[in-house]
Structure 1
Amino acid sequence: MMLPRQPSSPDASEAPGRGARPAEDRGRMIRRRALTLLTIVLLIGIPAGYLVISANQSRDSGKDKEAKYSATGLTIGWPSKVQRRLYQIPIPAGSRSVAYYETNNYKVSRLYAQFVTSNKGLGTFLKNIDRTASDLKKNDLAISDRDQQVAGWNFTGPGPWYGLTHGQQDPSPTQTVVVNRSNPDHPMVYVVSTTHP
């Protein structure tokens, strides 16, 4: 004869109330939510703040950069081949006292250059910008006062002075040229080439 099966005693793991999370008191819940909120604010707010600062700096960087470089004046040496090609300033071989300075912003880019050359070199330079010596006009200080100030040039010394403007349609640069002929055999040439990117 089979005896009825006795119900087994509840397993310890199935005991009611075991493993259940006790109810959280109100103070602890408020602290936990405040900590979660603070974490979210830090994770989102700090990067967003950096983006705003970066955007402001980028917006002003063109003006700041031009002002900063304007204070430094010309750099002694030759502009790079890329700069000479871009701004169409073909400084003749054998030139000396070469110096340059470049400014850029989102509206306009300029390359300032100066060099001493021979009369033949001056003729070559003018030919390469589609001009001749006859295009130079006496006492024409074609380079503006603003550009003179930026480059640190002063065209009040002994002359005679000659100048010209070679205007071209965008995106080709416009060159303004001033030549000091105080030394008849070795003219000093000043050029500003302006482009509008």
Structure 2
Amino acid sequence: MTCGADRAAAEPGPAAGRRPTAAGRLRRWTAAVLLTVIPAVYLAVSADQSHNVAAVRKLRAERAGLVHGAPSAVQRAVYEVPIPPGARGEAFFEANTWEKDSLYVQFTTTRAGLTGFLARVGTSRARLRAGRVTVRVPRGRAARVHWRFPAGRHWAGTTLPAPGLHPSREITVDLDDPREPVVFVVSTIRFVHYPHASQGPSTPSPSPHASQGSSTPSPHASQGSSTPSPSQSPSPLP
């Protein structure tokens, strides 16, 4: 019995052979660091993106250029561009600056669709001037809005100024195929930036004679003593 107990005491137990090695400690430390750092980085990136949603959206739009498809219902409502039902070949591009926002829209419609569109924006076919191209694409956006208006085609256009707070719209129609006119619209919203409120109306500084009353002496002014009092006498020069 004694020999068996001695052998059991001499044999290493399971825990004795499982001492943590340097590699194991490094793995556990690395895992702990990753579990702490990754969520923190994710939260930081998410917070930054949430504060820059508008900037990211603008950058994506600027890089994308003319997007094939109809603008959203909100964009159509804000810019007042009612694309007629059944239109095809839609494309749009939105540009935003400090002074104004612009939406470029094109679509192909029918005779009835063109008539309905013009009526909804407050004009008519009679207001379209033959041979006139009213849409203007700035040079800086020509690479993104690939609109060309070459001579020799049946162009017709009109311009709708902005009444009140509504957007202004430039409309040009390609009538080479009268059954399927192609419409180009640029709707622009301009912003009015008021100067900062001043500290209040500025009070004009009084003139040298303002505090002394009228420059014309009163007939009774000479009745007072012309000799200054001692307290009013000027101090002697040094």
Band of TM-score, shorter chain: 0.5 to 0.7
Matches within 5 A, 1:50-89: 65=58, 69-70=61-62, 72-89=64-81
From 93, 112, 117, give the equivalent of 1:120. Answer: 112
Please name the residue that 2:178 is paired with.
184
**Does residue 1:142 correspond to 2:134, yes or no?**
yes
Rg larger for:
2
Contact 1:137 1:162 in 2 (8 A): yes
Letter in 2 for 1:126: L
Please name the residue that 1:152 is paired with.
146
Give 1:72 deviation, angstroms. Answer: 3.4
TM-score (norm 2): 0.52
Give 1:146 deviation, angstroms. Answer: 1.6
Mapped partners of 1:138, 1:94: distance in 2: 25
Report the CA distance shift for 1:110/1:145 in structure 2 as closer, same or farther (over 3 A).
closer
Q: How many correspondences in the alignment?
A: 137
CA deviation map 1:106-149 (0-9, x unaligned): 21000000000001000000000010000000111101242772
Q: Percent identity?
A: 31
From 154, 161, 165, give the equivalent of 2:159. Answer: 165
Give 1:169 deviation, angstroms. Answer: 2.8
TM-score (norm 1): 0.63
Please name the residue that 1:47 is paired with.
none
Please name the residue that 1:193 is paired with.
187
The 3-state SS of whatever aligns with 1:162 is strand
Letter in 2 for 1:159: R
Please name the residue that 2:11 is paired with.
none
Unaligned runs of 5+ in 1: 1-53
Contact 1:70 1:151 in 2 (8 A): no
**Does residue 1:175 correspond to 2:174, yes or no?**
no
Greater RCO (Cα-Cα under 8 Å, separation 6 or more):
1
Structure 1 stretch 144-153 or stretch 88-97: which is displaced more? Answer: 144-153
Give 1:69 deviation, angstroms. Answer: 4.3
Contact 2:137 2:145 in 1 (8 A): no
Mapped partners of 1:182, 1:151: distance in 2: 21
Give 1:159 deviation, angstroms. Answer: 1.6
Letter in 1 for 2:84: P
Report the CA distance shift for 1:82/1:167 in structure 2 as closer, same or farther (over 3 A).
same
Report the CA distance shift for 1:122/1:145 in structure 2 as closer, same or farther (over 3 A).
same
Mapped partners of 2:137, 2:78: distance in 1: 24
CA deviation map 1:59-80 (0-9, x unaligned): xx69xx57x7455321011101
What is the root-mean-square deviation of aligned Cα atoms in Å? 2.5
From 130, 137, 142, give the equivalent of 2:122. Answer: 130
Contact 1:158 1:182 in 2 (8 A): no
